[in-house]
Amino acid sequence: MAEANEAASTSDMEPPRPWVREWSDQYNRYAYINLQITPPWRQWNHPCTPTADKDLPTPWLRQWDVQNGRHLYVNPETIPPTRQWIHPGKELIEKQLPEPWLCDWDRLRNCFIYINPETSPPARQWDNPTRAVPVRPEPWLRQWDKQSRRFFYINPDATPPRRQWLGA
């Protein structure tokens, strides 16, 4: 119900540049696309809607700053509300990473990127290196879906080939 109210309140609002709004017939709702990123970044929430990210500590929110064209982080429980450009969860996440991994906030994609500075060139990845990757039995393969920006699993030996989102 809250999702329907959010959709109704932002459906008439044009997103700020570099964002565009595109209707999805498949999901019967708008998707918002940041054209400044290659490939373009897609999300369901209007970029001006304050959102709580899974990477943000409670009670922080991510909010689009129209004047500066980037996201701002807000703690609404402080008086006055704390506003900052630096992602508030970075230090906490870095403490949990194995050596020599570091993390940095990608402000265009609104997510962390993980960097291993000891490889040449430095390894960069979107998956947290501490996250367990499921072990796949043969012949399952892990492949990246560009449209949804997540991994899926495929069994090429099945007829027709079997695909699924969760680990095989």
Does residue 21 belong to any structural domain of this protein? yes
Q: With a cut of 50, say whether residue 7 has pLDDT above it.
A: no
Report the percent of the chain where pLDDT is more than 70. 77
Residues 6 or more apart in contact with residue 28 via CB below 8 angstroms: none
For residue 164, the enclosing domain spans: 133-168
Quickly list DSSP for 100-128: T-EEEEETTTTEEEEEETTSSSPEEESS-
pLDDT tens, position by position, 21-56:
988 888 888 888 888 776 777 788 777 776 656 667
Quote the pLDDT of residue 111.
73
* pLDDT confidence of residue 168: 38
Q: How confident is the model at residue 8 (pLDDT cuts 50, 70, 90)?
A: very low
Position 156 scores a pLDDT of 82
Tens digit of each residue's pLDDT (9 = 90 or more) over 135-162: 567 778 877 776 766 777 888 888 887 7
pTM of the complete model = 0.43
Residue 12 lies in a domain: yes
Half-sphere exposure of 110 (CA within 13 A, CB side): 24
What stretches of the chain adopt beta strand conformation (E)? Answer: 19-24, 29-34, 41-43, 61-65, 70-75, 82-84, 102-106, 111-116, 123-125, 141-145, 150-155, 162-164
H/E element, 94: helix 90-96
Domain assignment present for residue 82? The answer is: no
Average pLDDT over residues 88-105: 80
Indicate whether 33 belongs to any domain. Answer: yes
pLDDT category at 110 given cuts 50, 70, 90 is low
Q: Is residue 157 part of a domain?
A: yes
> In the prediction, which pLDDT does 5 show?
46
Number of domains in the chain: 2
